[in-house]
């Protein structure tokens, strides 16, 4: 059967299927016999003192195998060689970037990890085990000097590997904080921290990614950088770096609300970039009439949710309604608007408003009691306390009127009363409402909304950099070192997004952090024992691949390039 090109061509599908299964089993058993024969031929039998067996020099292997494979897949060595880096520098860069991916932290932390905790050193053609920490700082600086060329080369490689469509670019900014005073760091500045670290100076990272999350260009700014002012720089970089990529067709720019000022929208129009944005100023009130009839006149978009067989039909319908989004397209002169209402967003905003209102009323109640007891009576003192309420609870304060009642002389406050403003009803109507503006006239409301929602990719990139790639905090006290540190994380993100995208292509939606944790138990060890002649043997071997490891390696096409090594370390005295 194994020697024939076909088997019973006129046979039924059942017989053909049975024949295929039989042949598959035959081939499997044949490979098993060949493997056993090879093992018997190459086996080495030693009489061992079982009491002497020990293991040592354990080093992490699993995450490094994945990172090393994708390093080669993206052609990092070829790209870096083209920029004049030597073989030793290539190995050092590989240790630095993979270290940021596998054990995120500072450059000093990466140096410690490389020397003490990882098997990556065994995968390099140059021995770097005794290299000093300064080499990691210096090579990071050298990388940043070639930032634009590296980003462009990696971008072109990823377009080829993953057949990336360059019609949609997502732009956003984030900031992270420094540890230390940073008195000599020009990038360190006080600003609004997105991590609520108002006690620390900040640095800003701007990033453009495509709809799959692959980085396009990045920029680094001072911590007090105004977000809207960065757009012109980014557009100039896109045009310069992407001349061959765009092929005459400008990509659509999708921006977060914090950057989409009217001036920036005008810049996009002037530079002829199509765009999809939510304008920074609130325009929902201009469409209040349309929003009042959302469920009657808008188109509904049902988002997917995880179904549970134990939930009732009513519960499933409630869950579906909670994730529903309603959209309506409104033409304008230069494009169109998409009026959007999200039930989930409305519930979240109502919950936030209720919480803020509750805290405000609790604080007002304490002030009201103090006035009633006579602890605070003078009009100017009461005014100061009311001002503090406004400062601490600005959102809720705007929805109420606080009315003091003074004595006959008008100098002392007898009571404080509070009433809710009727205008709040309009605010409730607009909970969950937002307006997307775009230059695309031919797209449907659903398409425009889905394109805008891809901004989650750039948000995911920042989240990965902060949690998985050691962007925060920054310890460097010099601006150049700060830039180098952030750029190394951007380069590591190229590896991360390539790994996650490959998993998604194979139907697996686990994140890099999950994969890294599951592979952390796959290690490389040295087995140490003494034989019958008191010779001490050291066998360096990779751990057995467990079920969880095997599944990940199969999805990503990973193989262990490290071989078993056996050496005599000496004799027992």
- For residues 411 and 461, state if they share a domain: no
pLDDT tens-digit map of 4-56:
555 556 667 788 788 888 888 888 888 888 888 877 787 778 899 999 999 99
Dihedral, 419, 421, 424, 426 alpha carbons, nearest 10: 150
Per-residue pLDDT of the chain (573 residues; tens, 9 = 90+): 555 555 556 667 788 788 888 888 888 888 888 888 877 787 778 899 999 999 999 999 999 999 999 999 999 999 999 999 999 999 999 999 999 999 998 889 999 999 999 999 999 999 998 899 999 999 999 999 999 999 999 999 999 998 887 788 888 888 888 888 788 888 988 888 877 787 888 989 888 888 888 998 899 999 888 878 888 888 887 776 555 566 667 888 998 888 888 888 888 888 888 999 988 777 888 888 888 888 889 999 887 654 544 545 545 555 566 778 999 999 988 899 999 999 888 888 888 888 988 999 999 888 888 888 888 878 888 888 888 888 888 888 888 888 888 877 667 888 888 888 875 455 556 888 999 999 999 999 999 999 998 888 777 777 887 777 877 788 888 899 999 999 999 999 999 999 999 999 999 999 999 999 999 999 999 999 999 999 999 999 999 999 999 999 999 999 999 999 999 988 887
Distances 102 to 128, 495, 513, 523 between C-alpha atoms, Å: 18, 11, 9, 13
Token pair for 19: 């024949």
Residue 303 is given by DSSP the state P
Collapsing DSSP states into helix, strand and coil, what is residue 85?
A: coil
Distance, in Å, from the CA atom of 569 to the CA atom of 354, rounded to the nearest integer, reads 71
Give the residue carrying structure tokens 């009691």. Answer: 369
Give the predicted TM-score (pTM) of the model. 0.79
- For residues 176 and 102, state if they share a domain: no
Q: Minimal CA–CA distance to 54: which of 532, 546, 538?
A: 538
Under the phi-then-psi rule, with left for phi > 0, alpha for psi from -120 to 50, and beta for the rest, what region is 163?
left
Distance, in Å, from the CA atom of 73 to the CA atom of 67, rounded to the nearest integer, reads 10
Distance, in Å, from the CA atom of 443 to the CA atom of 337, rounded to the nearest integer, reads 11
- For residues 255 and 388, state if they share a domain: no
Q: CB count, 10 Å around CB of 401?
A: 10
- For residues 451 and 497, state if they share a domain: yes
Dihedral, 231, 236, 237, 240 alpha carbons, nearest 10: 160
Helix, strand, coil % over all residues of the chain, rounded to 5: 50, 20, 30
150, 79 Cβ separation under 8 angstroms = yes
Give the residue carrying structure tokens 């929208």. Answer: 265
The whole domain housing 9 covers 1-43
CATH code of the domain covering residue 219:
3.30.420.10
Residue 213 is given by DSSP the state S
Residues 6+ apart with CB under 8 A from 408: none
In a domain, 28, yes or no: yes
Collapsing DSSP states into helix, strand and coil, what is residue 254?
A: strand
Residue 543 is given by DSSP the state P
Distance, in Å, from the CA atom of 295 to the CA atom of 1, rounded to the nearest integer, reads 65
Distance, in Å, from the CA atom of 343 to the CA atom of 321, rounded to the nearest integer, reads 7
Distance, in Å, from the CA atom of 548 to the CA atom of 550, rounded to the nearest integer, reads 6
In a domain, 252, yes or no: yes
- For residues 382 and 462, state if they share a domain: no
Q: Which of 417, 443, 469 is the last residue of a domain?
A: 443
Collapsing DSSP states into helix, strand and coil, what is residue 416?
A: strand
In a domain, 271, yes or no: yes
Distance, in Å, from the CA atom of 62 to the CA atom of 57, rounded to the nearest integer, reads 15
Q: Which residues pair with 299 in a beta bridge?
A: 327
In a domain, 547, yes or no: no
- For residues 167 and 293, state if they share a domain: no
Distance, in Å, from the CA atom of 203 to the CA atom of 66, rounded to the nearest integer, reads 31
In a domain, 26, yes or no: yes
91, 567 Cβ separation under 8 angstroms = no
pLDDT tens-digit map of 483-512:
999 999 999 999 999 999 999 999 999 999
Residues 6+ apart with CB under 8 A from 534: 571, 572
Q: Which residues pair with 220 in a beta bridge?
A: 205
Token pair for 539: 């066998």
Q: Which residues pair with 452 in a beta bridge?
A: none
Q: Torsions phi, psi of 74, nearest 5? A: -80, -5
In a domain, 527, yes or no: no
- For residues 289 and 413, state if they share a domain: yes
Residue 56 is given by DSSP the state E
Distance, in Å, from the CA atom of 98 to the CA atom of 104, rounded to the nearest integer, reads 9
**Cα-based angle 465, 468, 469 (whole degrees, multiple of 5):** 55
Distance, in Å, from the CA atom of 138 to the CA atom of 476, rounded to the nearest integer, reads 13
For the chain, how far is it from start to end, CA to CA, in angstroms?
Answer: 61
Q: Which of 485, 507, 529 is the last residue of a domain?
A: 507
330, 304 Cβ separation under 8 angstroms = no
48, 534 Cβ separation under 8 angstroms = no
- For residues 423 and 293, state if they share a domain: yes
Q: Minimal CA–CA distance to 513: which of 104, 107, 190?
A: 104
Q: Which of 145, 177, 193 is the last residue of a domain?
A: 145
- For residues 235 and 272, state if they share a domain: yes
- For residues 175 and 241, state if they share a domain: yes
- For residues 437 and 453, state if they share a domain: no
Q: Strand 433-438 relative to strand 275-277: parallel, antiparallel, unpaired? A: antiparallel
Distance, in Å, from the CA atom of 305 to the CA atom of 323, rounded to the nearest integer, reads 8
Distance, in Å, from the CA atom of 52 to the CA atom of 54, rounded to the nearest integer, reads 6
- For residues 308 and 430, state if they share a domain: yes
Peptide bond into 259 cis (omega under 30): no
Q: Minimal CA–CA distance to 171: which of 122, 226, 236, 230?
A: 230
Q: Minimal CA–CA distance to 117: which of 68, 61, 54, 55?
A: 61
Distance, in Å, from the CA atom of 174 to the CA atom of 234, rounded to the nearest integer, reads 14
In a domain, 561, yes or no: no
Distance, in Å, from the CA atom of 436 to the CA atom of 329, rounded to the nearest integer, reads 9
329, 440 Cβ separation under 8 angstroms = no
In a domain, 299, yes or no: yes
Task: Name the domain count of the chain.
Answer: 4
């Amino acid at each position: 059967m194994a020697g024939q090109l076909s088997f019973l061509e006129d046979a039924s599908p059942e017989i053909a299927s049975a024949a295929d299964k039989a042949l598959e089993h035959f081939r499997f058993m044949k490979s098993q016999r060949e493997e056993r024969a090879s093992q018997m031929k190459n086996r080495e039998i030693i009489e061992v003192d079982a009491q002497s067996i020990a293991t040592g020099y354990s080093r992490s292997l699993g995450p490094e195998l994945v990172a090393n494979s994708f390093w080669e897949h993206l052609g990092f060595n070829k790209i870096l060689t083209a920029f004049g880096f030597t073989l030793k520098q290539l190995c050092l860069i590989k240790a630095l970037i993979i270290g940021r991916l596998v054990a995120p932290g500072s450059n000093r932390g990466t140096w410690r990890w490389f020397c003490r905790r990882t098997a990556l050193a065994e995968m390099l053609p140059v021995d770097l085990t005794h290299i000093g920490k300064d080499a990691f700082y210096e090579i990071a600086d050298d990388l940043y000097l070639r930032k634009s060329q590296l980003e462009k080369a990696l971008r072109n490689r990823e377009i080829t590997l993953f057949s990336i469509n360059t019609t949609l670019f997502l732009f956003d900014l984030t900031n992270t904080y420094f540890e230390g005073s940073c008195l000599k760091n020009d990038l360190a500045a006080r600003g609004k921290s997105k991590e609520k670290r108002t006690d620390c100076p900040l640095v800003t990272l701007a990033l453009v990614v495509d709809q799959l999350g692959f980085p396009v260009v990045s920029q680094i700014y001072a911590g007090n950088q105004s977000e809207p002012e960065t757009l012109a720089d980014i557009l100039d970089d896109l045009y310069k770096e992407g001349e061959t990529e765009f092929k005459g067709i400008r990509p659509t720019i999708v921006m977060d609300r914090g950057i989409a000022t009217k001036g920036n929208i005008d810049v996009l129009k002037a530079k002829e970039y199509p765009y999809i944005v939510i304008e920074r100023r609130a325009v929902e009130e201009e469409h209040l009439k349309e929003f009042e009839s959302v469920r009657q006149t808008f188109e509904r978009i049902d988002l997917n949710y995880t179904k549970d067989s134990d939930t009732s039909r009513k519960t499933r319908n409630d869950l579906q309604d909670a994730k529903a989004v309603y959209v309506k397209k409104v033409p304008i002169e230069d494009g169109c608007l998409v009026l959007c209402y999200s039930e989930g967003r409305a519930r979240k905003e109502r919950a936030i408003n209720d919480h803020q209102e509750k805290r405000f009323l609790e604080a007002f109640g304490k002030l009201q009691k103090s006035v009633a007891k006579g602890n605070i009576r003078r009009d100017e003192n009461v005014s100061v306390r009311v001002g503090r309420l406004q400062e601490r609870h600005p959102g809720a304060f705007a929805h109420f009127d606080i009315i003091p009642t003074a004595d006959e002389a008008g100098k002392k406050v007898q009571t404080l009363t509070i009433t809710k403003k009727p205008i709040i009803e309009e605010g409730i109507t607009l909970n969950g409402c937002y307006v997307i503006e775009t230059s695309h006239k031919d797209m449907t409301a659903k398409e425009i909304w889905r394109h805008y929602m891809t901004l989650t990719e750039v948000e995911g990139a920042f989240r990965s950099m902060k949690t998985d790639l050691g962007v925060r905090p920054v310890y460097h006290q010099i601006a150049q070192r700060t830039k180098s540190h952030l750029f190394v994380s951007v380069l590591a993100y190229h590896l991360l997004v390539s790994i996650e995208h490959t998993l998604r292509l194979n139907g697996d939606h686990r994140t890099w952090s999950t994969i890294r944790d599951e592979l952390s138990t796959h290690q490389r060890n040295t087995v140490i024992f003494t034989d019958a002649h008191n010779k001490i043997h050291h066998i360096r071997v990779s751990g057995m691949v467990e079920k969880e490891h095997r599944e990940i390696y199969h999805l990503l096409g990973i193989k262990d390039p490290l071989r078993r090594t056996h050496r005599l370390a000496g004799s027992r005295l």
